[in-house]
Structure 1
Amino acid sequence: MTSKTLRLSDGSTVRVLEAGAGEPLLLIHGVGLRAEAWAPQMRLEAHVFAVDMPGHGDSTPLPAGARLPDYVAWAAQVIEALGVGPMNVAGHSMGSLIAGGLAIERPDLVKRVALLSGVHRRTPEARAAVLGRAAEITAGAGSIEAPLARWFTEDQADIRARVARWLQSVSQTGYAMAYRAFAEGDTVYADRISEIACPTLVLTADGDANSTPAMTYAMAGMVQHGQAVVIQGHRHMVNLTAPRAVSDALRAWLAEEVRR
């Protein structure tokens, strides 16, 4: 696995972890994390590119006030700069919102799309809660203990500690802006999901209180070629806590025939 810096058309830069050979696969992590959050999936039988999201790790932040469509436009720039499109694109949490938006806005760049731990039309109560957390983070009052408690069970201390280090080191400006986009992003493309025509994997864990199985089944049922996978006994960081099950689901997705 190698690390490199990719320069985009607007002059900004993106840190990329690259590994493997085969079909190109772009991996986009969630809010507060970094490319290393995809470590188990870097071993997939593909030419894998895991990126630091804007304002995370060593990637240039987006301009102030960026919202989900701006992150989608950024992802399109990444694929164009890599020069290997169309690509398979998988995103986790906020990354899944970006991946889904990309499949809608730029289908020419997306061969297959995988939405892991994604959100779709939160309930009014859940929406109020996540917007409240976004306001706290913007004010510098957010605690990492709350998300860690939602994401992990007590027997996952080692992985939890690794993720805690990423949350502690992330730029607070980049984190706050991405979280605001994530908090508002569950409805941005909700009415257009049926436009996704490529093979689509929608995956979550049964213990994920925010990216619920109900959301997963709803999204998979709306796309033209969707498959829902719900992994039992895990929570939000399922790609790290159940790496074999997630990687197996991604392998099956990568093997799906693409008709254009």
Structure 2
Amino acid sequence: MLDQEGTLADYVNVRDDVQLFCRHAGPRTAARPPVIMLHGNRDNHSHYADLQELLSPDHHTVAVDFRGHGLSSTLDVPLSATLFAADIEQLILHYGWGKVVLAGHSLGSAVAITLAGRRPDLVGGLVLMGSAASFSLPFRRPERPPTKETWAEYVREANTRAVPFFFHDKHPDVARRVSAAWSVIPFEVHQNLVRMRHPDLEETIRGLTVPALVVAGEHDRCTTVGQAEWIQRHHRDARLSVIPETAHFMYMEHPGAVAAEVRAFVRGLA
């Protein structure tokens, strides 16, 4: 179904009777490979709206909700980057694309790396935003585990603690928008997301054959510029772009700069 001129909302069936929500934008007949946009933990496809709009004149983009997120199926099951990567593999095969560009942010970048390592035949390029080879949460969540009754209070406190690590103080609108999305995730799904562990991707990154653009926020305290530099150094074909005056959500805080980097990267792919 069309949600506005030039965009298409679609669902794709994958394993476990799960439906993945996809928001398409831009010309489907574009000569360049489609760009599949993969969001972070507790985020959703709508966070890519500005980036999709900027790329849509000459790129076909698809912003996907992982299972358990946004408008995709919500199941009370263990979640992992490997499971998400398998879902995206099925999505690519469903549409019958040749090679795609995977543009992943945070958890989405871990999924992109996992899939590129497993199926390089499906991936023509990687855009890794807010990415790290290994990751641990840089702040402490509230000490007392939440219950359904205390859920809203717990989320408010956790979001307050997260803000300084994820967002630049020059972009409070982005912090409000993302925090609001974090606040509406169902209790059971959130519990599974909290239990999920970031995979150790060092060996996978060293073995990647897929070209990569690594994008970092200059003031990101969650996945730092240093962590992005590690990926750039240990990947055989990667370049690094640091976006000034942004933090972890650089693609929302300065979408124009990120769109320019993505456009140049995709244009340079063979």
The TM-score normalised by the length of structure 1 is 0.87
Post-superposition offset of 1:135: 8.3
Evaluate the alpha carbon distance shift between residue 82 and residue 173 of structure 1 in structure 2; reply closer, same or farther with a 3 A threshold: farther
Q: Is the 8 A contact 1:56 1:175 kept in 2?
A: no
TM-fit CA distance, 1:96 = 0.6
Task: Indicate the SS of the match to 2:12.
Answer: strand
Amino acid at match of 1:35: H
Residues 19-168 of structure 1 mapped to structure 2, 5 A cutoff: 19-21=25-27, 22=30, 23-43=33-53, 44=55, 45-61=58-74, 64-122=77-135, 127=136, 129=138, 133=141, 140=151, 141-142=154-155, 143-168=158-183
| CA contact 1:55–1:173 (8 Å) conserved in 2 | no
Structure 2: 5+ residue stretches without partners? 1-6
Amino-acid identity (%): 23
Shift of 1:17: 0.5
Q: Which residue of 2 aligns with 1:173?
A: 188
Conserved 8 A contact 1:134-1:180: no
Contact 2:99 2:123 in 1 (8 A): yes
Distance 1:172 1:94 in 2: 19
| Count of equivalent residues | 250
Q: What SS does the corresponding residue of 1:76 show, helix, strand or coil?
A: helix
Gaps of 5+ in 1: none
Distance in 2 (alpha carbons) for counterparts of 1:134 and 1:256: 45
Assess, with a 3 A threshold, how the Cα gap between structure 1 residues 134 and 96 changes in structure 2: closer, same or farther: farther
Residues in 1 aligned to 2:173 and 2:52: alpha-carbon distance in whole angstroms: 19
1:249 to 261, 265, 268: 261
Structure (1 or 2) with the larger CA radius of gyration: 2
Confirm or deny that 1:209 pairs with 2:215.
no
TM-score in terms of structure 2 length: 0.84
Is residue 76–residue 192 contact of structure 2 (8 Å, CA) maintained in 1? Answer: no
- How much is the aligned-residue C-alpha RMSD, in angstroms? 2.3
| Counterpart AA for 1:13 | Q
> How far is the alpha carbon of 1:170 from its aligned partner?
2.1
Residues 112-156 of structure 1 show CA distances to partners (whole Å, capped at 9, x for unaligned) of 11110012234xxxx3756x5498777654422222332223332
Instruction: Quote how far apart the aligned CAs of 1:99 are.
Output: 0.6
For 1:240, which of 235, 252, 255 is the aligned residue?
252
d(CA) in 2 for partners of 1:18, 1:128: 32
